[in-house]
A and B are shown apart, each in its own frame.
Chain A
Amino acid sequence: MAFDSGAVAVSRPKSFTLKGALLPMTLLELRTNDASKIASELAQKVAAAPDFFGGSPVVVSVESVVADVPFLTDVIDICARLGFRLAGVKGDGQHIVEFTKVLQLGHFPGGKVKNLSKRSLAGKRSDPQAKSIIDTYISTKTIVTPVRSGQQIYSDGDLIVLAQVSAGAELLAAGCIHVYAPMRGRALAGVKGDESARIFCMSQQAELVSIAGHFMIDENLRDAYWQRATQIFFDGNELQVEPIAGFSA
């Protein structure tokens, strides 16, 4: 027992918690070895926007310059004078490792970093990574009027229908299909092959349901949760019809 409690104490200390974290920092990328030029331009920047650096820690990157120890010393000096809270130095080289160790600063090896600062400081999604997320996002199509017999509705993403879907109507979606009314027509989800797509309906009375080509017709559907709130999904083997918890009457 003593061993057990000891083990717990080691693995779960009560006085602190250790967590990996990504915190905002400002990266100061140096492009020249001219310390005086850095000093004057940086002073101008701070004068123009005193709150820009705020209290957030600054990491100096010396990857693009030849940084010897006297230069590093100058840079640290400049930062201290301008009131920066220096968190570390980023760059490769044994002398940089030694230098940061002596000054008790953090050391970050050179290499690519995620460009977080630009986005958070600019306040809008201007960087290319965020843009590509917008480009690939496919919006949901929402239909608020009844879908009648003979009508066909297609969505490149998800499809939401808030009115009844009549027998003889057809819903097609590359993503999921939601019908918050009686569903008496056909619903084909994942038509581009997404087997994880699902169909949700408040009153399941479908003629046919299909997920990525795996289908079920109403003869089989009538046996399972007919006219109830159900979801239909593909479990890798066959279609499953299950009641939606909290809606099953």
Chain B
Amino acid sequence: MAKVIVMTSGKGGVGKTTSSAAISSGLALSGHKTAVIDFDIGLRNLDLVMNCERRVVYDFVNVINGEATLRQALIKDKRCENLYILPASQTRDKDALTKDGVERVLKELAADGFEYIICDSPAGIEHGAFMALYFADEAIVVANPEVSSVRDSDRILGILQSKSKKAEQGERVKEHLLLTRYNPERVEKGEMLAVGDVEEILATKLLGVIPECSSVLKASNQGVPVIHDEESRAGQAYSDAVKRMLGEEVDHRFLTPDHKGLFQRLFRRSA
């Protein structure tokens, strides 16, 4: 049984695509056959973050329109054996996505033996985002520790539980909260919402807290999902999140400021 997971947030720029790349890679590295679909038609980014943009021949919209087979459009990841990317079309707009078309692609992926299908949602609450979440069994809601992002995440949670297929059938989409760009120093200064505050406002189970980390930007620009950077705090936090998704009990890390850290690290590096 394939599990369809939507990576969503409402607000843009909070780290949906970065998280989609990292978590799908993490699932694949754990031995699960995983597909990641870019739903951001017209603004495709996932292929860049996963460094496969030059290998895109056919895309998601081609498959929906029957212009290519799913097998032709899926791009095999270079780093993980079990990971496949279905890129978005750069030249079309989001209206090219239809419920029937999306459902057909998801069913075909499931029939092909994929265990996890990650749907990387575009920002906003328009058609593209709706298509990405409609068939979801579970949702990872990505939020930054600031009020507008949290508010938008709340909104998208409401849409998930009222407009998705599961909701229409009277069931619930399983919710996970992924807090990204978390900076414990700024939380301590009162410049940022604390994990507890966000959890309380959203009343959703916390999947992971990804610390603000320079490795994330570097990873995006190099096209290597940050989870491959095992040294980085963000990479480790994503690995923990993937373990939790797979049912392991892992304590949350990087929630408190590393007081002794900064100076010592600088010293160590220069030495």
Mark contacts of B145-184 with chain A using CB atoms, 8 A cut-off: 1 yes-contact digit, 0 otherwise: 0000001101101110110000000001000000000000
Q: Name the distance in Å between B205's Cβ and chain A's nearest Cβ.
A: 12
Contact A167 B157 (CB under 8 A): no
Contact B172 A168 (CB under 8 A): no
Residue of B nearest to A146 (CB): B203
For chain A residues 214-249, which have a beta carbon within 8 Å of chain B?
A: none
Contact B154 A148 (CB under 8 A): yes
Given A145-B161, A148-B161, A151-B162: A163 touches B203 (CB 8 Å cut-off): yes
Judged by a CB distance under 8 angstroms, whether A149 is at the interface is yes
- Separation of A28 and B260 alpha carbons in the complex (Å): 97
Residue of B nearest to A163 (CB): B203
Of A145, A164, A167, A182, the residue contacting B151 (CB under 8 A) is: A167
Residue of B nearest to A168 (CB): B151
Q: Name the distance in Å between A118's Cβ and chain B's nearest Cβ.
A: 41
Q: Which of chain B's residues have a CB closer than 8 A to the CB of A164?
A: 203
Q: Which of chain B's residues have a CB closer than 8 A to the CB of A146?
A: 157-158, 161, 203
Q: Name the distance in Å between A130's Cβ and chain B's nearest Cβ.
A: 33
For chain A residues 135-177, which have a beta carbon within 8 Å of chain B?
A: 145-151, 163-164, 166-169
Mark contacts of A169-205 with chain B using CB atoms, 8 A cut-off: 1 yes-contact digit, 0 otherwise: 1000000000000101000000000000000000000
- Separation of A184 and B197 alpha carbons in the complex (Å): 14
- Separation of A168 and B157 alpha carbons in the complex (Å): 13
Q: Name the distance in Å between B130's Cβ and chain A's nearest Cβ.
A: 13
**Please, how many residues of chain B have a CB less than 8 angstroms from a CB on the other chain?**
14
Q: Which of chain A's residues have a CB closer than 8 A to the CB of B200?
A: 182
Q: Which of chain A's residues have a CB closer than 8 A to the CB of B161?
A: 145-146, 148
Mark contacts of A77-121 with chain B using CB atoms, 8 A cut-off: 1 yes-contact digit, 0 otherwise: 000000000000000000000000000000000000000000000
Chain A CB within 10 Å — which of B154, B157, B202 has the most?
B154
Chain B CB within 10 Å — which of A146, A150, A169, A184 has the most?
A150
Given A145-B172, A166-B154, A167-B151: A150 touches B159 (CB 8 Å cut-off): yes
- Separation of A163 and B204 alpha carbons in the complex (Å): 12
Q: Name the distance in Å between B178's Cβ and chain A's nearest Cβ.
A: 17
Judged by a CB distance under 8 angstroms, whether B201 is at the interface is yes
Residue of A nearest to B157 (CB): A148
Of A169, A182, A184, the residue contacting B158 (CB under 8 A) is: A169
Mark contacts of B71-109 with chain A using CB atoms, 8 A cut-off: 1 yes-contact digit, 0 otherwise: 000000000000000000000000000000000000000
- Separation of A163 and B203 alpha carbons in the complex (Å): 9
Residue of A nearest to B147 (CB): A167
Contact A168 B203 (CB under 8 A): no
For chain B residues 106-161, which have a beta carbon within 8 Å of chain A?
A: 151-152, 154-155, 157-159, 161
- Separation of A151 and B172 alpha carbons in the complex (Å): 16
Contact B203 A149 (CB under 8 A): no
Q: Which of chain A's residues have a CB closer than 8 A to the CB of B162?
A: 151
Contact B155 A150 (CB under 8 A): yes
Q: Which of chain B's residues have a CB closer than 8 A to the CB of A169?
A: 158
Of A145, A167, A182, the residue contacting B154 (CB under 8 A) is: A167
- Separation of A168 and B162 alpha carbons in the complex (Å): 16
- Separation of A147 and B203 alpha carbons in the complex (Å): 11
- Separation of A146 and B200 alpha carbons in the complex (Å): 12
Instruction: Report the 3 A-B pairs with minimum CB-CB distance, sorted nearest first.
Output: A148-B158, A149-B154, A149-B155
A-B contact pairs, 10 of them (CB 8 A): A145-B161, A146-B157, A147-B158, A148-B155, A148-B157, A149-B158, A151-B158, A166-B154, A166-B158, A168-B151
14 more contacts with CB within 8 A, not counting A149-B154, A149-B155, are A146-B161, A148-B155, A148-B157, A148-B159, A148-B161, A149-B158, A150-B158, A150-B159, A151-B158, A166-B158, A166-B202, A167-B154, A168-B155, A184-B201
**Which residues of A approach B to under 8 Å, CB–CB?**
145-151, 163-164, 166-169, 182, 184
